[in-house]
Structure 1
Amino acid sequence: MEGELEVGLCPVCNEYRHDLHHNGTVNHRFHFAKWQYNEFSKPLSNNRHGIVLDAQAEQVNNFRFIFKYIRGKYTVKVSSEQLRLHNKTISFKCTIANTRKDPIFLINSTLLHRCSYFTIKHTTDFEDDNTLIKLLPGATYHFQVLFKSDVLSNASYKIPLTCDFQTIDEKSFSIVRTFLAVVDDELDTEEEKIKSPFTSKPWKDVKSTISSTKDSYFVDEYPIPGKYIKILSYGLDSFEGMNVNDEENLRDLRELLAELSLDNYKRFWHVLLWLEERAQGVMLMRYNMETVTVKVSDKGVIVLEVPGLAEKRPSVIVGDFIKIRVSGDHTAYKGYVYRVNDKTVEITHVDEDFLEYLQEYPETELDVAFMLSRLAFERMHRGVDRVVDTGMVATLFPSGRRELPTSNTFTLRDVHLFNKTIAHNSEQKKAVEKILNVTHDLPYIVFGPPGTGKTVTIVEAILQIKNRTKKKILVCAPSNSACDMLAIKLLEKCKKEDLIRIHSSTRERTTITAELKAYSNMDEDDDSFTKINEQILYSHRIVVSTLTLIGRFTDKYKPDCVFIDEAAQASEPETDIAIALVQPGKQVILAGDPEQLGPMTTKCAEKFGLGRSLLARLMENEVYSLDPQTRTYDANFITMLKLNFRSHPDILHIPNLLFYDNLLEPKSTSAMRDPIVGTSIFPVILNINIRREGQAIEFYSVHSKERREGSSPSYFNPFEANVVVKYVTALMRLNLPSAYRVRMDQIGVVTPYKRQVHKIKDRLKHQGFEAVEVGTTESFQGREKRVIIISTVRAQHSLLLHDRKYNLGFVGHNQRFNVAVTRAISKLVVVGCPLVLARDDKWKMFMQLCEERGSYFGKPFDFDTDDFKNDVLNRMNKFKHKDDQYQ
């Protein structure tokens, strides 16, 4: 019906339509104007209808810099020192020439949005709408576009210009030009483009594969059914050449994956795991290599160089298999991955005849295909089956709130606590007491937001169960690092016969600390791993293992209770591996935070639910959810830890508001008394004094452009990398009391892209700051540092670029934002482009909070106001985005 409101998100401005007047709002009209500009500006960047628009960067006083024109864009590149010597100003002299046979009028020439760095200088005042400049045939008109920057930091600055014309018969058209000024101190060391050896070509012509002499020791129980392979390869989307059976199977799978239930539990997860396996296999095929050479050591180890290995592109671990063939041959040979280095893979156990051939002909060109390991998938499939077969699946689908008896079998007095600090934390103590006295068969959840002592709580609970009962306890986590941390905290109160930390034989030996070796299945003398069986597991009260590894002992090891730490990072089938080991009536405790990073999966499997952990799914259930009336959780089933002992209140403010219902209570005395909180770092970089006091949070606006090397999908931003180094340098020379001097190991740098990690590490090492830890958001989960610097990397610098044209990395990702900003104890510094970050409400809140506190530095954040948007709209109203010259 005409005038009826179309509900839902507006595809133009991405805001919810509240009423019929939505399309008339400033924000909608602003985004619609941006869309029009992006749709029509490209063809208008050419000279047209006899009008030639040209610009030259004026190089005065023998000043020389890089200047070029490509497809409607004028670019000047200078170093910060060059710009300083040129009075911090670059002038573009613009010339309009009329080559027509009749006169034409220039009716407007303007920059399409206001920007403090760019101005336009005319000899004629265009403020009056009646102003016309008549250009006779052969005539020219000159004006200037001026760039001026008082801040000489590495960045790039971009502005679009439109010139609007009208013919004597009142036909109008526009010409668009873009001006880009790049301030870059690394102009002579621009990153070299690396040719990629990856071909993405499948091996369809291989007729036989010679097995490795160390082939896999398990039999595939859950291979992908042949009838599903093609359907899964297309991510459950329709594809060309589908037959009737394909269409029927596709409908069946889509219907199955619509919703997980108690009745379809097995088949749902089997199909979804097959989808994930197929998606990973297709992604891995992208890294197939052609015509490469290898080195073969005297001991018969094949050394293969793999670009991007440090970024896990491709992801290769010890124990994987790799197929190698002479280029174009029909026979392939499997090799075993013995070691993974930063740039090379060492391969052993290849067929001896083939190895001798490579040793004799070392220049032989080879093709390489990486093979996806099925071990983890097999164990998840088996875990899903066992959870259903044992009946434990019923506990994963609770229904309705329950009344439970209040009496406790065990009383937890302060004197009984192993960690006495828990006595002063009511939530931690309550969680331990409830776990010790559980009277139901549902999983118990310890909901641990950042810095609230989740690990301390579950370690206390484990030790209390060990001390007060005879139960066998299994402690698991998705990663080795999380398992190591738990084991180290537990062994302080355990004897060697009480605790064992079991490792996979493929684990890198150097990552295991000396204290862990004494409590693990590792021989301290020769660093070899001893074989583990169920008798060894039963001989210890506490077993600590990764979720995947413990799957080796399904049907053999039956603990009385299972603790799963970092449960929000594990997919539900991965969690099932451990749950499958216990029988109904036994305890399962899940600890984690669904508001932090979840399971790592491919996008096609994530959208059907593999990216949601069991812990996250349970917390959506009524039994585990927050009561909106009392704003509390039912402590019989879940405890939320509320006291944050890590971060300064200002650092915690936004995540507390957005993700934790404002229930967290900042309690970090060390952060509150840290003098670095009151110190602004950016003025130290510029060596200037400011009167206002510093804040715990600080934002620096960088207008730059991200880059990629060759075909690598990982971005880096050299401008931001340089700013990070300047911040670290400033932190290291702060004039603070000796007890509070900043050490390198107290600084962490977080960035979403691994290529940026390496760029920042290289620059810090060059300056002697190699002890500063640099990593991705994922690598910092569960970690903390006195100072955190975040480099957001993505920095599309044009205000008028349409939002949806770009993948913005971790911008817009709630969990990555939450993890990144909650690692800091006393000082959080964010370096990024506000034009990109403002598109996300969370980052916008952060920038606005910094503005309010006076800790926002760099280009002002004014482009999100209605006043600014209206100004852009007024300018663009004069812009003729559709050429009506011949209409």
Structure 2
Amino acid sequence: MADIDNDRLGKLDVYARTFIPQSLREVNRAPANIFPSEPAPWVDFARYVQTFAGSDFLTSDTTLRPEDYSDATPDKHNQSQTPPTPSDGAGQGISLLTKQYYHRYFQGALKHEGAALQQECDDHALFRVPLFQDGNMDPRPSMFTLHVPGLREQSLRIEVGDIVQLRQLRFDLRGDVTHGSLITNNDGKQIVTPRHADYQYNSVVWGIDRLRECLALRVDGLAPRSMLFNVQFTVQAERLRATYMAVRKGQRGLGAISSNSWMRSMLFPEPSDGYYQKTLNKAFIDLDLYDQLLNYEQSKAVNTVLNETYGTVPFIISGPPGTGKTKTIVELALQLLGKHETSHLLICAPSDSAADTLVQRLSKHLKLSDLRRINAPSRSFPEVPDTVLPYCYVDDGMFSLPSFAELMKCKAVVTTCRDVQMLVRARLSNRNLCELQCKLHSVIHPDTSPARARLHWTGLLIDEAAQATEPEVLLPLSFVTPPWTSGPDESQWPLFVMAGDQHQLGPRTASKQPSMQTSLFERLLDRPFYCYHPLARSKQSGGVMRPLTQDMLPILRPAFANLIRNYRSHPAILATPSSLFYNDTLEPEATDTDSLLSWSGWKGQGWPVLFSRNESPDEVEQDGGGWYNIREAMIACQYVQSFLQHALLQPRDVCIMSPFRAQVRVLRKMAREAPFTMPAVNIGPLEAFQGLESKLVIICTTRTRDRFLNQDVAKGLGVIHERKRFNVALTRAMSGLIVIGNSDVLVKDENWRAFLAFCQRNGLCDGLTPPLGELEMGNGGLVSRLERQLLHREGMDENDLHALSNGVRTLGVTDDDEHQLWESGIAFEKFVRESEEVGR
């Protein structure tokens, strides 16, 4: 009987949408009286512009003709119409991204993104749910609370100011849901009346409590006939329209309207935009660092950007996990501000949390008046760290913009890529400010020709750039772009620097199209200008970053930096990701990664990596609610309990992740209750941990049957055949990594096969795995440099260990070419430093 049920399940769509009775669906389709609600407080941008430009000095934005965006989404506060999505129009059939068809390419992509977002909203629709008043959340009479499952995990994209459509339910005498007119003729047919009997309240989100998974909704004019509702969420119209307009502006910067090539060189860099160097670099970098702990690669990246000798192209900092991307961006910002007193930097990140981190680090060196964190009014105050709040501007109980004079004095403005739209609407872009300068000069000095305007924003730095879509990056990029005509000369063009890692999770999009899921960061690194360079990471072999030599000259100076030193993880944890994603180039530099080695559960070599086999079948919640695995959750909690009983770490030092949200719910429930009772353990979906780290990471792969793998891949779910999720999962751990899964299923993925082969070669498995010969097919057969060095270290005597302590780069002491190159490089740098000291 079980086999029959399994066969039936295999033929069904396990991701089918939850069944909703037809009577409830019909309610949403019936005509209704629509009642709007008061919009949430927002910035009055027109009034803001008048405070510094009056009404005569800034023309209306003519970069877009009305017909260019007539199909874009309306303002989020316009409640009289359902937001459409941008039409691809002439963009149909444009599959190749080129300078000529840049706008059309992304026009079609944004259309699909809008449609996917609408589908996402439909998937989160709620039926027959209560609305109640909660005095603790908001005591005002027109404010109501709505519980939204999944709000904590941010699976639903919703912000303060968004519209939530509420269909009030009506019931007949039998208690069944009814809709339409209750007046019928002699034949029992409904008679249409001038006013509909059904009500739709277009409520507005005024507050979000993700911890309690509740929305505070403003609902004006609510007639309490029934407090049960159907709930429909709407697409964030303004966000879509902003990216659409940024793409269009990008096309104008690429086209004939522009007399300079800045935008073209930023989006489509060519060799002619670079700088050829004919001499070798100095061995010693003479920088007075703010952060004295910067390593050589980080310092070199900062030095290259400061000297501006790589050309007019984006400078890209490629930073694998734990290599200090943010540290490098912060140092670069401080150096730029210190070198040029007139510098004003726009510093962005794709997420609020990443932007907050930038502020926290910059605030250690910048005065309050020199640093500002711009938040949209849609952000709630509890989400902002206390250390960041002093750098935010609050007006009338919401986040807003500081005065024009205050903002112009500020040296560094930090915000998210999307929230740059606030600065755009406030007319503070380089093009707007240059126009204002010229207009004022013409009025004050009508008899003299205006001098060339000087750019206000001298640089754009984006951290975690691989997590932003290209249209999102175009928002800040078009904001700092020089005027298309009669602007400053090339020597004054703004810098553009991105830091990120294209091998970790990319942009979060509703659409699965590559055009939206490929970031500008990743696309540029695939261009010949970067990927064919002899010093590119992809060109290195044997795990050694080869230095520039005389015989390579002349050569394009690399407009990129490869960070290689990992300050997070034990070498055994790094071995597989370094080999698969980073050409075996990662160097373990972390200290105190041996703190969990005394745990008795480690196998084989005793390294802090363990694969635990689990064959218990995965199960699916009713109505496609998601996948979970009870036995796997039990194993994970038992491992955590074992570490806690041995007093090796605190609960907050543990992270348990799963790619399936249903399994996350099971894990949380099990860990919080007896017999485990571990409420402080961090448990969440895999995506939530990108950028974070924990001493011990337990990965619950959950999927133990292969019959649903194709559906997982089609939906972009799971951790099998998902390279970036695999890499993120393995690189969060500092001192211990445990993976729970079925090796018979995982082996079907070449990346998991390589990890399993690593575990089996070194005896790190708890349970049976496929034969080593099968595992070593493809990438699984590659033994990484870090693995070889770990094995070598295991056999070293005391003299070797003493020699090892004198060097940082290698894990083993060998006589190979790599070690000799490194030793000679250290000796040469020491000689140069001593020579410079003598010269002084």
Fold shared by both chains (TM-score > 0.5): yes
Aligned pair partner of 1:599 in 497, 507, 532: 507
Number of the residue aligned with 2:364: 492
What are the superposed Cα offsets for residues 257-301 of structure 1, whole Å, 9 maximum, x if unpaired?
Answer: x11111111222223112211221123123333333321356222
Give the structure with the higher percent helix: 2
What are the superposed Cα offsets for residues 323-360 of structure 1, whole Å, 9 maximum, x if unpaired?
Answer: 112234554221111223355543433233xx2x12xx
C-alpha spacing 1:573/1:410, structure 2 compared with 1 (3 Å): farther
Aligned pair partner of 1:378 in 217, 224, 241: 241
Aligned pair partner of 1:276 in 110, 113, 131: 113
C-alpha spacing 1:575/1:415, structure 2 compared with 1 (3 Å): closer
SS at match of 1:654: helix
SS at match of 2:34: strand
2: CA distance, partners of 1:434 / 1:387: 27
2:531 counterpart of 1:611: no
Aligned residues: 636
Number of the residue aligned with 1:368: 231
What are the superposed Cα offsets for residues 138-177 of structure 1, whole Å, 9 maximum, x if unpaired?
Answer: xxxxxxxxxxxxxxxxxxxxxx9xxxxxxxxxxxxxxxxx
Q: How much has 1:528 moved relative to structure 2?
A: 4.7
1:97-176 alignment runs, 5 A limit = none
Number of the residue aligned with 1:548: 418
Q: How much has 1:446 moved relative to structure 2?
A: 0.7
1: CA distance, partners of 2:207 / 2:422: 23
2:463 counterpart of 1:565: yes
Say if 1:434 and 1:635, in contact at 8 Å, map to a contact too. Answer: no
C-alpha spacing 1:806/1:758, structure 2 compared with 1 (3 Å): closer
2:632 counterpart of 1:720: yes
Amino acid at match of 2:387: E
Q: How much has 1:603 moved relative to structure 2?
A: 4.0
C-alpha spacing 1:698/1:373, structure 2 compared with 1 (3 Å): same
1: CA distance, partners of 2:646 / 2:689: 25
2:338 counterpart of 1:467: yes
2: CA distance, partners of 1:494 / 1:200: 56
Say if 2:614 and 2:740, in contact at 8 Å, map to a contact too. Answer: yes
C-alpha spacing 1:866/1:507, structure 2 compared with 1 (3 Å): closer
1:5-404 alignment runs, 5 A limit = 69-70=1-2, 72=4, 203-206=28-31, 209-214=34-39, 222=69, 224=71, 253-256=91-94, 258-297=95-134, 299-300=140-141, 301-327=143-169, 328=179, 330-341=198-209, 342=211, 344-352=213-221, 355=222, 357-358=223-224, 361=225, 363-390=226-253, 391=258, 392-395=262-265, 396-400=267-271, 402-404=274-276
Give the structure with the higher percent strand: 1
2: CA distance, partners of 1:405 / 1:707: 60
2: CA distance, partners of 1:196 / 1:73: 23
Fraction of identical pairs, as percent: 27
1:479-558 alignment runs, 5 A limit = 479-522=351-394, 528-554=398-424, 555-558=427-430
2: CA distance, partners of 1:802 / 1:321: 36
2:720 counterpart of 1:811: yes
Say if 1:447 and 1:593, in contact at 8 Å, map to a contact too. Answer: yes
1: CA distance, partners of 2:563 / 2:774: 38
Say if 2:315 and 2:559, in contact at 8 Å, map to a contact too. Answer: yes
Q: How much has 1:845 moved relative to structure 2?
A: 1.4
2:649 counterpart of 1:742: yes
SS at match of 1:310: coil
Number of the residue aligned with 1:582: 480
1: CA distance, partners of 2:383 / 2:703: 33
Say if 2:285 and 2:300, in contact at 8 Å, map to a contact too. Answer: no
C-alpha spacing 1:680/1:206, structure 2 compared with 1 (3 Å): farther
Amino acid at match of 1:323: Q
Q: How much has 1:696 moved relative to structure 2?
A: 2.1
What are the superposed Cα offsets for residues 624-656 of structure 1, whole Å, 9 maximum, x if unpaired?
Answer: 115468636965311111111221222111111
Q: How much has 1:418 moved relative to structure 2?
A: 0.6
2: CA distance, partners of 1:196 / 1:340: 26
What are the superposed Cα offsets for residues 748-792 of structure 1, whole Å, 9 maximum, x if unpaired?
Answer: 222212232232222222233222212222211111112111111
C-alpha spacing 1:323/1:802, structure 2 compared with 1 (3 Å): closer
Number of the residue aligned with 2:658: 751
C-alpha spacing 1:412/1:490, structure 2 compared with 1 (3 Å): farther
What are the superposed Cα offsets for residues 1-39 of structure 1, whole Å, 9 maximum, x if unpaired?
Answer: xxxxxxxxxxxxxxxxxxxxxxxxxxxxxxxxxxxxxxx
2: CA distance, partners of 1:438 / 1:656: 31
Gaps of 5+ in 2: 11-16, 46-65, 74-82, 170-178, 180-196, 431-456, 483-492, 541-545, 549-555, 778-840
SS at match of 1:769: coil
Structure showing greater radius of gyration is 1
Q: How much has 1:731 moved relative to structure 2?
A: 0.9
2: CA distance, partners of 1:216 / 1:742: 46
2: CA distance, partners of 1:225 / 1:515: 38
Amino acid at match of 1:776: P
Number of the residue aligned with 1:858: 767
Q: How much has 1:705 moved relative to structure 2?
A: 2.2
2: CA distance, partners of 1:347 / 1:225: 28
What are the superposed Cα offsets for residues 21-65 of structure 1, whole Å, 9 maximum, x if unpaired?
Answer: xxxxxxxxxxxxxxxxxxxxxxxxxxxxxxxxxxxxxxxxxxxxx
Amino acid at match of 2:565: L
Gaps of 5+ in 1: 1-68, 75-159, 161-177, 179-192, 227-232, 237-245, 683-689, 736-740, 869-887
Q: How much has 1:313 moved relative to structure 2?
A: 4.7
2: CA distance, partners of 1:536 / 1:408: 44
Number of the residue aligned with 1:621: 527
What are the superposed Cα offsets for residues 457-514 of structure 1, whole Å, 9 maximum, x if unpaired?
Answer: 1110000011110210011001010001111011001110111112222212122222
Say if 1:747 and 1:787, in contact at 8 Å, map to a contact too. Answer: yes
Say if 1:700 and 1:830, in contact at 8 Å, map to a contact too. Answer: yes
Number of the residue aligned with 2:316: 445
Amino acid at match of 2:298: Q
What TM-score do you get using the length of structure 2 for normalisation?
0.69
Number of the residue aligned with 2:564: 642
